[in-house]
Structure 1
């Protein structure tokens, strides 16, 4: 089945929010404690807040069989802010298809460098795409320390 990558539509926000929360609460457990996960993706879900965030970030969205299965965001200065795929569709090329589309768009925009703050989960994926670690980060959220890595890739 072909993965379709497209621009965000306002009606996508709830499904993308669910992908974000489901991914963190199900998949991140192998690397993060429940307390850390609760700080990263607190419950209950604030859907209106995420609607606003997605309208500002305008993610690239992945569809498989007319179902939303992942998304990535890119800022004007080349930061990949969010990169998530649905747990039920991981290891199926969703993130790779999204990333390839994002990199193509980055080159069209004339960006020279892409950056990302990658979690334990995302770090191997971005390394495979040619990103290198520039530093390890410790982010404090309400007494919990979340670890991620700043990574970058220079586009030729």
Structure 2
């Protein structure tokens, strides 16, 4: 996502759906986004990794999805995020390769039933 942050459309993309920002010791520690039934972003600053911030951000988004009546959540999980989403109860649907600035990246389409 970091390369996309320089894109002029990035602020408008953050305004879609629900974007949550977490703070830790008066500093921005991470953010996550839900658009419809899709978790589009979860990022935690490396200095605050392993504090449960990503899990708390995710849980808030899942609660919001349930309030909205969503029956499932979906995401495209990076290689780094794959195990995190498995831990949260997501199931892998397919592995795929995408190109980002000429680099091939593996990601997994995943889903989690909410009902």
Please, what TM-score do these two structures have when normalized by structure 1? 0.67
The farther-off stretch of 139-148 and 105-114 is 139-148
Relative distance call for 1:83 and 1:52 in structure 2 (3 A) is same
CA contact (8 A) 2:93 2:111 kept: yes
The structure carrying a bigger helix percent of its residues is 1
Higher normalized contact order (CA 8 Å, seq sep 6+, divided by chain length) = 1
C-alpha RMSD over aligned residues: 1.8
Q: Deviation digits for residues 114-145 of structure 1, max 9, x if unmatched?
A: 00100111011010000010000111245421
Alignment of 1:75-154 (within 5 A): 75-76=35-36, 78-154=37-113
Separation in structure 2 between the aligned mates of residue 142 and residue 97 of structure 1, nearest angstrom = 31
Query: How many residues matched?
Result: 115
The structure carrying a bigger strand percent of its residues is 2
Separation in structure 1 between the aligned mates of residue 101 and residue 49 of structure 2, nearest angstrom = 30
SS where residue 88 of structure 1 aligns? helix
Please tell me whether Structure 1 or Structure 2 has the larger radius of gyration of its CA atoms. 1
Structure 2 spans left out of the alignment, 5+ residues: none
- Runs of 4+ residues over 4 Å off in structure 1: none
Please, what TM-score do these two structures have when normalized by structure 2? 0.89
